Amino acid sequence: MPAPYPDIKAPLLPHQIEDALADLAVTFPTLCTRTVFAGKTFKNKSQSYIKIAKGGGVRPAVLVTGGVHAREWAPPDALVTLARNLLVAYTTGADIGFPAMAVTPVGGTAVTYKPWAIKFADVKGIVENLDLYLFPLVNPDGREFDLTPPIDAIGWRKNVSPQAGGNIGVDLNRNFDIIWKFEDYFDVPVYKSRYGNTTPASTDPAADTYRGPGKHSEQETKNVESLLDTLPIGYYVDVHMAGRNILYSWGLEENGDVPTMTFQNAVFNGTRDGLPKGDSKLPVGRTDYQEYLPDDPPHRIRSRGKFGADIMRDAILRSAGGGALPASGTPQWTHSLYVSGQSAFLYLPVGGGPNSGCSDDYACSRQFLNPARQPLFAYTLEMGHLEEQFFHCDYRDVPGHFRKINREIHAALFGLFKVVVTSAQPTPPEPPLQRVCLIATATLGDPAHPDVRYLRHLRDERLRATPAGAKAADLLDRVYYSFSPAVARHLEGHPRARAIVRALVIRPLVAALRRLFGPMAPDRPPDPPDDGKKQEQAQEQADARERRQADGPGPAQADGQGGIR
């Protein structure tokens, strides 16, 4: 499809969105790369994401997802439009222009909006200084189901995988591996005492917010998690509908200052209240639990998280005013005023409390599981409004709902992108290749183990030496990181499993790689045969250490003075 691209006048079907991404990668090969996920959806659909960036080097990375919920029509279409606009503008040196428009709210009179533009200078700054990852349609099966006639008034929220009792679908935004098993995290009776007969997610397969049969049971969830695990994302935005809200972390609980109050700390299991500060439902004598979100320099994660949300809110308002804030109380102000707030309690008066298994919390949690990932800011945008028909907005020029929401999504995201590229860069995590030995390290118990060092050397120096090798290394990274953090965490507490993985996976793998690529050059002594011998000796020592650990705790460990490590 050659540029310029036509406006989108009806919700795109999943295959059209995939085609659009493929087209962008072909049309703009130096700026846009497309990656197809290995796993397919229940309906056997392939999914892909694109990366838009000119040049390389260490720089901030942003991931934007859309279409997690099937019926939320506008975000995937707006993200496709945004990608097209960004690439066309960068290539042609033009601004991204939005003409004047009239938008009629349901039950209201038309509101006119001035033209608005994203300047080429900003486009250039973003393309050249940001790694932008766009995954516009997370839930293609659900979207296709929602768009299959007869279209339902309320629409379909979940995916369509078969579930118990003949039900279909999991709410992907309750399926992420972050307090997925909410009954372990919360004191559920206290939670229910405040929010009525509801829980942070549903365990009923028939329900709209069904969390699924297991954490990240769904391929679509795994895809998003893999991006957040493998890419050095500093900012994550999940675009939803509807309600004109911009949510920032946490959604698990109220934000707090106590470093020990974390989702990882089992001491608090079953006692977390899920209540806002000062709530009368807190049991007498119980300490109010708040999820730790530090606000210390240099990252100021809590303040800057809110700051990013406010930036997006203000950017939307400015776009409604044609580039300047409209006067308070004008129609442009009233119909484009978004609310920014902490995810956990924004919907309190309608029984909305903290939720489990959400994408933004999963993203936010990465920086606490791996402090090298700090800072990481995560947002959920609820775009559109009741007066724009909620999820099923109207794409026609009149009333112009999609046109308005599309402009608002552009405004919010470009507002954030501009801040990301112009303010202090988040500290990038270690390059994934430096961390790719997670499993080997966990298995062998020592990052300096010869096998770990060999794997690291192979990835970082041998494979990186050629473009083809670098590609192979990237692939290795992606595959490896789709499962390695979870496996490594498991192995750390299970010595016998480590012994098995070492014997059946790591050792044969390293032996095969050594045969294929030869020994590690930097450590090679003057006499090569000694190198192999030395490495073997070191391996034997490490193996003996590992065997002792795998045999279970000895007397010292029983006394609490030793440990697996």
Partner 1 sequence: MALLQIDATSEVLTGLSEVEELYVVKPSLESLGADRYRVGGYAAESVIPDLEARGCVVTVMMSTDAIERFNRQVEDSIAPSSPDV
Residues that bind partner 1 (CB under 8 A): 9-16, 43-44, 106-107, 144, 147-154, 196-198, 240, 242-243, 245, 339, 346-352, 382, 385-387, 389-390, 392, 394-395
> How many binding residues for Zn ion (CB under 5 A)?
2
Residue number with CB closer to partner 1 (157 or 453): 157
Which of 286, 301, 282, 291 lies closest to 263 in space, CA to CA?
Answer: 291
* Residue 456 C-beta: closest distance to partner 1, Å: 40
What is the SS3 assignment for 181? Answer: coil
Residue number with CB closer to Zn ion (215 or 240): 240
Q: Is 431 left (phi over 0), alpha (psi -120 to 50) or beta?
A: beta
* Residue 382 C-beta: closest distance to partner 1, Å: 4
* Residue 537 C-beta: closest distance to partner 1, Å: 55
* Residue 382 C-beta: closest distance to Zn ion, Å: 7
69 binds, among Zn ion, partner 1, none (CB under 5 to 8 A by kind): Zn ion
Alpha-carbon span 388 to 398, nearest angstrom: 12
**Helix, strand, coil percentages, rounded to 5, for the chain:** 45, 10, 45
Which of 218, 200, 197 lies closest to 209 in space, CA to CA?
Answer: 200
Residue number with CB closer to partner 1 (106 or 472): 106
Residue number with CB closer to Zn ion (68 or 282): 68
* Residue 110 C-beta: closest distance to partner 1, Å: 16
* Residue 13 C-beta: closest distance to partner 1, Å: 6
Stretch that binds Zn ion, among 17-25, 66-74, 113-121, 282-290 (CB under 5 A): 66-74
* Residue 239 C-beta: closest distance to partner 1, Å: 13
* Residue 390 C-beta: closest distance to partner 1, Å: 6
Cα-Cα-Cα-Cα dihedral of 283, 287, 291, 293, to 10°? 150
* Residue 171 C-beta: closest distance to Zn ion, Å: 9
428 binds, among partner 1, Zn ion, none (CB under 5 to 8 A by kind): none
Residue number with CB closer to partner 1 (241 or 282): 241
Residues in region 237-276 near Zn ion by CB under 5 A: 240
Does the footprint of Zn ion cover residue 69 (CB under 5 A)? yes
Which of 315, 309, 322 lies closest to 380 in space, CA to CA?
Answer: 309
Residue number with CB closer to Zn ion (211 or 240): 240
43 binds, among Zn ion, partner 1, none (CB under 5 to 8 A by kind): partner 1
- Report DSSP state, residue 424: P
What contacts 24+ positions apart, CB below 8 Å, involve 10-14? 10/395, 11/73, 11/77, 11/143, 11/147, 11/395, 12/76, 12/77, 12/80, 13/143, 13/144, 13/147, 14/45, 14/137, 14/140, 14/141, 14/143, 14/144
Contacts of 8 (CB under 8 A, 6+ apart): 77, 80, 81, 395, 402, 406
Alpha-carbon span 360 to 364, nearest angstrom: 6
* Residue 455 C-beta: closest distance to Zn ion, Å: 41
394 binds, among partner 1, Zn ion, none (CB under 5 to 8 A by kind): partner 1
Stretch that binds Zn ion, among 162-170, 232-240, 242-250, 389-397 (CB under 5 A): 232-240
11 binds, among partner 1, Zn ion, none (CB under 5 to 8 A by kind): partner 1
284 binds, among Zn ion, partner 1, none (CB under 5 to 8 A by kind): none
Count CB-CB contacts under 10 A for residue 433. 22
- Report DSSP state, residue 234: S
Alpha-carbon span 542 to 448, nearest angstrom: 10
- How many Å is the Cα radius of gyration of the chain? 25
* Residue 248: CA count within 13 A, CB half-sphere: 21
Alpha-carbon span 175 to 169, nearest angstrom: 11
Residue number with CB closer to partner 1 (71 or 366): 71
The amino acid that residue 132 corresponds to is L
End-to-end C-alpha distance for the chain, whole angstroms: 57
243 binds, among Zn ion, partner 1, none (CB under 5 to 8 A by kind): partner 1
139 binds, among partner 1, Zn ion, none (CB under 5 to 8 A by kind): none
The phi and psi torsions of 220 (rounded to 5 degrees) equal -60, -40
Which of 398, 403, 323 lies closest to 109 in space, CA to CA?
Answer: 398
390 binds, among partner 1, Zn ion, none (CB under 5 to 8 A by kind): partner 1
Residue number with CB closer to Zn ion (240 or 418): 240
> Is-contact 416 274, C-beta < 8 A?
no
Residue number with CB closer to Zn ion (142 or 256): 142
Stretch that binds Zn ion, among 62-70, 144-152, 332-340, 365-373 (CB under 5 A): 62-70
Contacts of 486 (CB under 8 A, 6+ apart): 177
245 binds, among partner 1, Zn ion, none (CB under 5 to 8 A by kind): partner 1
385 binds, among Zn ion, partner 1, none (CB under 5 to 8 A by kind): partner 1
Residues near Zn ion (CB under 5 A) are 69, 240
